Structure 1
Amino acid sequence: MAELAEKIYGDALFQSALEENKLEQVKAELDALTAVFQAEPAFLAMMDSPAMDAGDKQKILKETFAGSVEEILYNFLRILSDKRRMGLFLSIADQFGALYRQHLGLLEVEAVTAVAMSENQKQKLRDKLSELTGKQILLQNSVDASILGGVILKYNNQEINGSVREKLSALRHQIRGVIA
């Protein structure tokens, strides 16, 4: 249920920002608020608490955000507070970010390798993935020595496992199938 709410609210904020031609400004301010709320999670918990009066919540939002963030974002925060959805803010911001990247034709990819990739290797991988997907690739490299070699690509909740460990595991299953 919560995932559906996050999608609905994230989509609504994205569409509002797009329609008002404020996408870049809302994205920048949303990123800034995300950083603040990650550093101070108690604020979101307080704003989501049924123990606090709704009028007090609106007063806090007005004093804190009115005039300092884009009006679309301020009104969005007010709606989240009214609907007791402030606890979903970080997930909603993630949904907004995914829509933003999709709108710009960007694809985030994590490449897990046994050793850190050189800049030249990263660029070659970016170019190849861009050619295959037609999107601009935002590549992050993380290291996991346990994969032994090769690469695991993670994107859009998918994974392509081209690691040596995975290939050895598949070979082991094949051998067991022949012997058994």
Structure 2
Amino acid sequence: MENSGGIQASLSGRYATALFELARDSKTLATVEASLGTVRDALAESVDFKALTTSPLIARKDAAKSVAAVAKLLELDATTASFLGVLAENRRLAQLPAIIKSFRALAANFRGETSAEVVSAHPLTAAQVTELKQQLRTRIGRDVSVDLAVDPSLLGGLVVKIGSQMIDSSIKTRLNTLAHAMKG
């Protein structure tokens, strides 16, 4: 299997690759990807869960118990719950955001899609996401899976990153460009 961007070169990439291969071989790729999306959302929304994953003060066994409880609460599939336990035992929970990102890239590549990181000033509606995917598909020539994030400091517009290509149509960037041009 080819890993574009050297995903396997990093620690998080090796964990993501192992989880991806396990999910692919057991034909639970969509289920694991959905569970990882739930974990990603929980990390963004819960300060306590984020602290659990990043604190070096929590003992391995306590972290493993806590992660198992969170997995049950979030109704994660067995593979993802077990994987989180392995991360806790190996003190690698802090790598979770990077692992999720790498896993999503591997899954998108497996499906023949290109993955794009999209940052908007406000949450996008389902219709806007569908339209954005269509526009990106037209531009790139492949299906695109999007990883959405919100950054209110953009004021408006979008920042889309596909691989090394970046499309920045944010109002923040336009205002900065205008201010720079006015300075002379």
Q: What TM-score comes out, normalization by structure 2 length?
A: 0.62
**Which whole-Å CA distance do the structure 2 matches of 1:92 and 1:12 have between them?**
10
**Which whole-Å CA distance do the structure 1 matches of 2:102 and 2:48 have between them?**
22
Corresponding residue for 1:20? 26
Alignment map for 1:15-94 (pairs within 5 Å): 15-66=21-72, 68-94=75-101
Is the contact between residue 107 and residue 137 of structure 1 (CA under 8 Å) also seen in structure 2?
Answer: yes
> Percent of counterpart pairs with the same letter?
24
Over 4 Å off, 4+ runs: 119-125
Deviations 1:132-164 (A, max 9, x none): xxx223579x848xxxxxxx9842123589xxx
Corresponding residue SS for 1:65: helix
Corresponding residue SS for 1:50: coil
**Which whole-Å CA distance do the structure 1 matches of 2:70 and 2:160 have between them?**
41
Change (3 A) 1:24 1:123: closer
Q: What TM-score comes out, normalization by structure 1 length?
A: 0.63
Larger radius of gyration: 1
Is the contact between residue 44 and residue 86 of structure 1 (CA under 8 Å) also seen in structure 2?
Answer: no
Corresponding residue SS for 1:31: helix
Change (3 A) 1:124 1:65: closer
Structure 2: gaps (5+ residues): 1-8, 119-129, 149-155, 169-184
AA aligned to 1:126 is R
**Which whole-Å CA distance do the structure 2 matches of 1:55 and 1:32 have between them?**
23
**Which whole-Å CA distance do the structure 2 matches of 1:122 and 1:90 have between them?**
23
Is the contact between residue 48 and residue 84 of structure 1 (CA under 8 Å) also seen in structure 2?
Answer: no
Structure 1: gaps (5+ residues): 112-118, 145-151, 162-180
Corresponding residue for 1:103? 110
Greater alpha carbon shift after TM alignment, 120-129 vs 43-52: 120-129
Match of 2:138 among 113, 118, 127: 127
Corresponding residue SS for 2:57: coil
